[in-house]
Amino acid sequence: MTGSAVDEQPLKRRVGNGVLPRVLGRLASAVLVLFAAASATFFAQALLPGDRATLLLNQRTGQTEARSDEELAPIRAEYGFDDPILVQYADYLGGLLSGRLGVSYQMHQPVEALIAEQIPATLLLTVTALAVAWVLTLVWTIATTRRSSRIDAIGSGVETVAAGLPPYWLGVILLVVFALGLGWFPVIGGSEAARLVLPALTLGIPLAGFMGQATRAAFERALEQPFVTSARMRGMSDLGVRVRHVLRHAALPGITLSGWALGSLISGAVIVETIFARPGIGRVLVSAVNSRDLPVVGGIVIVVALVYVVVNLLVDLAYSGVDPRLATE
Amino acid sequence: MTAAAVSLGIALLAGCSGPQAAVGDERVEGGTIVYGHLQEPPCIFGGWVQQAYLSRQVLDSLVSLEDDGTVVPWLATDWTVSEDQRTWTFTLRDDVSFTDGTPLDAQAVSDNFEYWLDGGNGTVQAYLADYYESSRAVDATTLEVTLSAPYSPLLSVLSQGYFGIQSPTALARGNEANCEQPVGTGPFTVAAWKRGESVTFERNDDYNSAPANARHDGPAYVEGIEWRFLPDSTTRYGSLVSGETDVIYDVPSIEWATASEQFEVQRYITPGRPVALSFNTVEGPFVDERVRQAFAFASDRRAIVETVFRGAVPFEGNGSVSQGTSNYNAEVAAAYPYDPNRAAELLDAAGWSETDASGYRTKDGETLEIVIPYGAGSILTQEGSAVLQAIQQQVKDVGFKVTLIPVTQSELFGGAYSQPDERDIYVGYWTSPTAAILHINYRHHLPESPNGANSTFYNDDELLALIEGANGTTEPSEQERLYAEAQQLISDRAVAVGLYTQTTSLAVGPQLRDVWLEASQGEPVFHDAYFVQ
């Protein structure tokens, strides 16, 4: 109802007194989130049934058998598994506070180095997938919402189907059709543009379906607003109205979802990484969980939590940019 | 649906002619082999076969194994064993250096023995901890290894990738460096490891220590190997079809027939213990030998394996030693054909004569329940799981109630279901080039000297005497007789019965020649390989 007030020229951003406490509050809650993520990971990994020293020894030989105390003693001593669990927890947190994520039990490498090696590929994939999802969502929503009841039905039907596509299935289909069948893209994924297309589509299409559903609903509501009618009365073209006025209102749910999506894309990238043989933290995380490689699992969980925190902060800022009313509240 | 689509897609491409249409026989100098492998291990050197695949490219061993089981020289040119068979003397080559410049000498090899047995390699410990006493350099080229008891399979054991010799200078760098970049005298060196993607090997231009069974001496023909990790089988096979890889490991069963027509395929039947059912002989219904025999008779294991694997993997009836292992007892493999009547008689005789409302056998009100935990996706493939499900269905007719428990990798390797009160049957294999695997799997499991690898918990003095006798004799016919009797005894008492052989495969594109699988563990060898045009 108040939409027309902010319609033509955005209000100047006002930097109020409330900004500093807000930033501090944000930081405090970010630290709390990271602390909780680290603690939950530690206890989940340390307290799962099964002996960690046995697991390490068995994985180093490819066997699954009971081990004697004599065999296990050196490994327990090396990794401090003999210490009381709270001592191990304190050691772990102490390491984190001094900026060390530890050394992988299995790979013998510092966790920081492992993550630094893997994260660029993952971020490249997820950011590209998110961009793909946005492009698909915007084009599709602008093109099909409220055109005619038939186009509208097709538009939302496609979104529903896309949102429900399992990434594994979609990835294999894209691979078989476009890489193996038509030969348009390489089979093996990588960082070059041509090798990124199919992996990004595999993640981006279902996400576009999801974001499209939310955006379409907001788009429909915005089209009913009085400012749309007034813009049309001023002689603006239909496309102009949709792109310049309605979209700004309809984009908010999509932006909210993007924060969530980027986090879930990072943790869900493992399927795509496996199908297209891409490096990335998803695959490292799965193999670390399988071998209960606590420093690696903890490091990756903390990094993913950090990404969530940062992205949600950015989403907040993006909100204020798109809807200046939020900045003044 | 997916599998069908995949097959169709690959067939489509295959139909419209491969990327390399015509390839001649003219050898091309250099080039880099792109190889697609299935699994990526945490380290390049270690006691898991996935590590041996990689370390075989950079490390040479003392000896090499021929396909017929003969042991031939490699870094050791000659060897003798003392009268009491406790002292082995190896003569080493005097003209070989590690790629970090350290000379290969007897002290270096002795350092490796010490490193392995000091915890550097758990699989070496499984083989040698009970036998190895010490080793010393008599002079620069003479190594003396002293054992605590005779161990005739020593040479074939040493031919495995786990026993690759590393530079002592490099070993002193510590775990982090050795994990990523072991240094040997081999045909290639590790140039880079991009985890999750590939290991890059570069040619060792000074290579002069190929094993006696290699197809040529001197440096490798190719400049290097790009060892890609391609865990998804559609991608892996697809990459070969599209020409992005030159050779791949583990051809999917569903593509085996087509691959055999289009590419050079090689199949490796892993010696050692096959994928077998090992019965718990100390707790539960299988304490009674007749119940174990009844279970063995109660399902048509051969038909099940042949149906599930579509002929890509052979049936193996012998439960302790697999075909392709020297001193394999083939007669044992034919024991326990499908005979439900026989199974029923044995169960009646063992007192499981009542039947409950669901058709399961009971004894004193207790149901005949069999618990089988198995490593779904880690130890057993999907096809392996399908074999177990088929057995579960079939033995139900005779009155066995089988409960299958798929176990996650971290649980299983963490020691879940490793105790006698937790399982009735263990399902698993063990790669080994020699029937001496029997000693690992059947050495007594005792409180004072536990043996977790004895998955049947079966302690039998008669059996152990046969195995130790075989390990202790150098007379081939005597050794064969003793190993054969040991397998016979395990079969007669139904301690373990076999299912199928652990089988791996390779498919090589037409542009690449002379890739071969070495005999001890089936590691691909790229030193002799070359491109043609």
| DSSP string covering B151-187 | -TTHHHHHTSGGG----HHHHTT-HHHHHH----SSS
State how far residue B78 is from chain A, nearest Cα, in angstroms.
30
* pLDDT exceeds cutoff 70 at B19: no
pLDDT bin (cut points 50, 70, 90) of residue A326 is low
At residue B46, the 3 state secondary structure works out as coil
* Residue contact B47–A60, C-beta within 8 A: yes
Of A66, A177, A276, the CB nearest to B9: A177
Distance CA B43, CA B41 (A): 6
| B123 has a chain A CB within 8 A of its CB | yes
Instruction: Report the phi/psi class of residue B494: left, alpha or beta, with left for phi > 0 and alpha for psi in -120 to 50.
Output: left
Phi, psi of B39 (to 5 degrees): -110, 150
* pLDDT exceeds cutoff 90 at B464: yes
ipTM over 0.85: no
User: First vs last Cα of chain A: how many Å apart?
Assistant: 17
What percentage of chain B carries pLDDT values higher than 90? 74
pLDDT in tens, B51-64: 999 999 999 999 99
Distance CA B125, CA A282 (A): 34
What percentage of chain B carries pLDDT values higher than 70? 96
Which residue, chain included where needed, has tokens 């915007």? A138
Give pLDDT, residue A328: 56
Mean pLDDT of B459-478: 92
pLDDT in tens, A46-65: 888 778 888 888 877 777 78
Q: How many Cβ atoms sit within 10 Å of the Cβ of residue A263?
A: 19
Give pLDDT, residue A70: 82
Q: Side by side, which strands form the sheet with B366-367?
A: B354-355, B361-363, B366-367
Provide the number of CB pairs (under 8 Å) joining chain A to chain B: 175
* Residue contact A188–B414, C-beta within 8 A: no
Give pLDDT, residue A4: 41
- pTM (predicted TM-score): 0.83
Provide, as residue numbers in chain B, all residues whose Cβ is less than 8 Å from the Cβ of A66: 415, 418-419, 450, 452
- How far from A112 is each of A33, A90, A102, A310, B42, CA to CA, in Å? 20, 20, 8, 19, 16
pLDDT bin (cut points 50, 70, 90) of residue A8 is very low
pLDDT bin (cut points 50, 70, 90) of residue B134 is very high
Bridge partners, residue B147, by sequence: B132
Mean of all residue pLDDT scores within chain B? 91
* Residue contact B122–A57, C-beta within 8 A: yes
Pairing of strands B32-37, B224-229: parallel
State how far residue A164 is from chain B, nearest Cα, in angstroms.
16
CB B122 within 8 A of CB A61: yes
| B82 has a chain A CB within 8 A of its CB | no
Nearest CA in chain B to A283: B196
Closest CA to B127 of B483, B432, B470, B519: B432
Provide, as residue numbers in chain B, all residues whose Cβ is less than 8 Å from the Cβ of A54: 413-415
What is the amino acid identity at position B506? L
Give pLDDT, residue B60: 97
Distance CA B43, CA B338 (A): 44
Among A1-5, A323-327, B479-483, the minimum mean pLDDT is found in A1-5
Distance CA A51, CA B337 (A): 40
| B4 has a chain A CB within 8 A of its CB | no
pLDDT bin (cut points 50, 70, 90) of residue B409 is confident
Give pLDDT, residue B191: 96
* pLDDT exceeds cutoff 90 at B525: yes
* pLDDT exceeds cutoff 50 at A6: no
* pLDDT exceeds cutoff 90 at A275: no
pLDDT in tens, A106-128: 888 889 988 998 888 888 999 99
| B194 has a chain A CB within 8 A of its CB | yes
Give pLDDT, residue B89: 97
- Sign of CA pseudo-dihedral A138, A143, A148, A154: negative
Distance CA B431, CA B454 (A): 15
Residues 6 or more apart in contact with residue B74 via CB below 8 angstroms: B60, B61, B62, B63, B64, B209, B211, B212
* Residue contact A187–B242, C-beta within 8 A: yes
Provide, as residue numbers in chain B, all residues whose Cβ is less than 8 Å from the Cβ of A274: 231-232
Which residue, chain included where needed, has tokens 């004895």? B454
Mean of all residue pLDDT scores within chain A? 82
Nearest CA in chain B to A68: B450
Distance CA B44, CA B186 (A): 14
Provide, as residue numbers in chain A, all residues whose Cβ is less than 8 Å from the Cβ of B194: 117, 279
Provide, as residue numbers in chain B, all residues whose Cβ is less than 8 Å from the Cβ of A172: 2, 5-6, 234
pLDDT in tens, B70-82: 999 999 999 999 9
* Residue contact B5–A172, C-beta within 8 A: yes
Pairing of strands B198-203, B224-229: antiparallel
